Amino acid sequence: ISRTLADKPDGRQTGMARLLQRMVSDATARMAQAVPGLQRADSQPETNCGSGVSESRCDLLLRQVKREVALLMEVASAGTGGVSKDSPVVHTLCSRVESCLLYGLKRYPGFESMLLLQRVAADCPQAAGLRLDGGSGCCAWIRRALLSGCLASIVEHLAANCRRLYEPESIVGDACYGPLLASLLGSLS
């Protein structure tokens, strides 16, 4: 039986909730050192992210990714011999990551996340190294990158080179949210 990730009724937190809070605090601290003048999003209510992303939409997408990362870590640490690549937890995490990657993406007719991978593969060795042998289905390349441990590197590359692929209000293109997403995914490697 899976433990809940939220606070327990008596106010105590589960081990995974504490671990997730520590991971987010560490990632925020690293970002504060890397970007001078960076402030916590919760210190200024009802404001926008650095590039004008709606805080509620941005926070919602990142909160969903955080929740799925924590759940995946909990399932992996349960001692059941690891997480299957076909696990619903992996599928949900991949779809949440895809939502973050597609938010604010400059789109063309029929553009999807697989085309994003193909465009990035030209100058990102981790993306070029992904082999999708008939791996069809929702978020196939994200799942493959997650399981091979290179998804965080690809997201970091996208965040560093976001100008040509993303609108200014995107999550990946934001100075604080893009690296935060990569850091959350890096904790799974």
pLDDT of residue 157: 94
pLDDT of residue 96: 95
In the chain the first and final C-alpha atoms are separated, in Å, by 25
Assigned CATH for 15-186:
1.20.58
Q: Which of 164, 62, 143, 141 is nearest to 103 (CA)?
A: 62
Q: Which residue has the higher pLDDT, 76 or 1?
A: 76
Burial class of 2 by CB neighbour count within 10 A (0 to 12, 13 to 18, 19+): exposed
CB 84 within 8 A of CB 90: yes
Helix (H) or strand (E) holding 56: helix 55-77
pLDDT of residue 28: 66
pLDDT tens digits, one per residue of 114-164? 888 888 998 999 999 887 765 556 688 999 999 899 999 999 999 998 888
pLDDT of residue 63: 93
Q: Which residue has the higher pLDDT, 171 or 25?
A: 171
Mean pLDDT of the chain: 77
pLDDT of residue 175: 86
Across 38-52, 54-68, 171-185, the highest mean pLDDT is recorded for 171-185
What does pTM read for this prediction?
0.70
Name the residue ranges covered by the structural domains of the chain. 15-186
